Chain A
């Protein structure tokens, strides 16, 4: 089973709202990732967690705040977003951060009004 689940599927929020995206995997993977994907573009890496510790932050604005409560869960907290942050947010996982095979979830389609 190579399933990564994400909730919600769709999210509409105002620029003053606070919301969270959730990602879950039960494959025993110890690395988890957040990507942002704009229409007709490849995914762009935002954050990497390895063994529940933040390993890579690709200079993401502080209005995006990741959290890894345990090895199966990854959250992305959103606050004071801008309309240009509207995108598909993808979660992925891999066995280790040094193990290259990444499995993606279905994504959360975010619209910021």
Chain B
């Protein structure tokens, strides 16, 4: 089955810096890659996603890049703010069959003022 590795497990940055979280996946049939942000005591919130026919997608301060050949995808957050502090999960799934998400282990991002 699919295996998703996520690094780093924790990331501390100063406010205004950029943050990058990287994930690799094992199943070349995976074609959908969402990123979720989970704040303490809340459910995961979808922040951005990318499909395998696209190499990059941006939404304001957040961007995701996908390298299908290398089977890795990354989340980029620019101009970080304290409210970006949370746990971020990457995930992968494929369109065939029922769509189950395989999650990475998560990255705790701490943004210091």
Contacts and interface: CB of A to CB of B under 8 A. Distances in A.
Contact of A41 (B34, B41, B43, B105): B105
Contacts, number: 59
Contacts of A61: none
B42 A106 contact: yes
B100 interface: yes
Given A42-B103, A43-B103, A101-B34, A50 B95 contact: no
B12 interface: no
Interface stretch (B44-52, B54-62, B63-71, B77-85): B44-52
Interface string B70-109: 0000000000000000000100010101111101111000
B43 A45 contact: no
Interface residues of A, number: 27
A100 B93 contact: yes
B87 to A, nearest CB: 8
A32 interface: no
B34 A105 contact: no
Nearest to A103: B46
Contact of B101 (A99, A100, A106): A100
Given A97-B99, A104-B46, 20 more contacts: A2-B46, A6-B43, A40-B106, A41-B106, A42-B89, A42-B106, A45-B100, A55-B98, A56-B98, A98-B98, A100-B32, A100-B49, A100-B95, A100-B99, A101-B49, A102-B99, A103-B46, A106-B42, A107-B42, A107-B43
Interface of B: 32, 34, 36, 41-46, 49, 89, 93, 95, 97-101, 103-106
